[in-house]
Amino acid sequence: MKTIKYMLAGVLGLMVMSFAPSVNAETIDVAVSGPDFANFAITETGGTINSITGTFDGSAISGLVATGGIENNDNLYNSTAPYFDGDGVGFSLSTPDVRGFSYVDLYSIGNSYETCQSNADVAGACGTPGVTEAAYGPDIVTAAVATPAVATPEPSSVLLLGIGLMGLMSVAYRRKSSTGLLQGLWSRPSA
């Protein structure tokens, strides 16, 4: 009887875990046109941008700037326009762009976008005395989901496994007589 209780507790634990929400990353293709031009892809999970690749103003993007860097970027993504908030997404360039800058913050102002471009990864670089910087805009930004987040089938598989185990345990319990619990699974009921 103790074995059945432990098995039921394990199955119930698996079933509870199967309902835990899963957050998956999705990839979004972004295009920028106007005074700036760019084509890049971002990967985000739950609204936070994890990575960025592509080009901006003729230079390869080398990576994200940590949050709180250039122009106090927060690297957040919205699935509807405006795609970036007023703090924007900050990234660095592998070589200076066509204007000679190596750091960029792309952010929204209302329904339009601007960039703060700088040669230093400094919090609030746009407007910081002694930092070479410039703001350009308005830009037009379009975004399209390239790889949508797809829920993984694991939670439902674990749930089905748990239900199946519970069914096998109930059959074994009913068939159990003088034979052992596992033998009850394979023995035929007496007529």
pLDDT digits (tens, 9 = 90+) for 114-161: 888 888 776 666 656 556 667 787 888 888 877 665 555 566 677 777
Q: Would you say residue 185 has pLDDT above 70?
A: no
- Between 6 and 90, where is the model more confident? 90
- Closest by CA to 52, choosing from 29, 78, 72, is 29
pLDDT of residue 153: 55
Residue 77: inside a domain? yes
Residue 79: inside a domain? yes
pLDDT band at 53 (very low <50, low <70, confident <90, very high): very high
Contact in structure between 48 and 75 (CB atoms under 8 Å): yes
What are the E-state strand segments in 110-170? 112-118, 133-147
Residue 104: inside a domain? yes
Contact in structure between 169 and 3 (CB atoms under 8 Å): no
Q: Would you say residue 95 has pLDDT above 90?
A: yes
Q: Which domain holds residue 87?
A: 27-147
pLDDT of residue 3: 59
Contact in structure between 27 and 41 (CB atoms under 8 Å): yes
Residue 172: inside a domain? no
Q: Would you say residue 39 has pLDDT above 90?
A: yes
pLDDT band at 184 (very low <50, low <70, confident <90, very high): low
The number of folded domains in the chain is: 1
Contact in structure between 85 and 110 (CB atoms under 8 Å): no
- Between 143 and 170, where is the model more confident? 143
Q: Would you say residue 31 has pLDDT above 80?
A: yes
Tokens of residue 188, six digits: 């035929």
Residue 10: inside a domain? no
Give the burial string for 80-98 (b: 16+ CB within 10 Å, else e).
eebbbeebbbbbbbeeebe
pTM of the model: 0.65
Q: Would you say residue 62 has pLDDT above 90?
A: yes
Q: 47-51, 52-56, 100-104, 171-175: which range is least confident on average?
A: 171-175
Residue 38: inside a domain? yes
pLDDT of residue 162: 80
Q: Would you say residue 14 has pLDDT above 60?
A: no
Q: Would you say residue 97 has pLDDT above 80?
A: yes
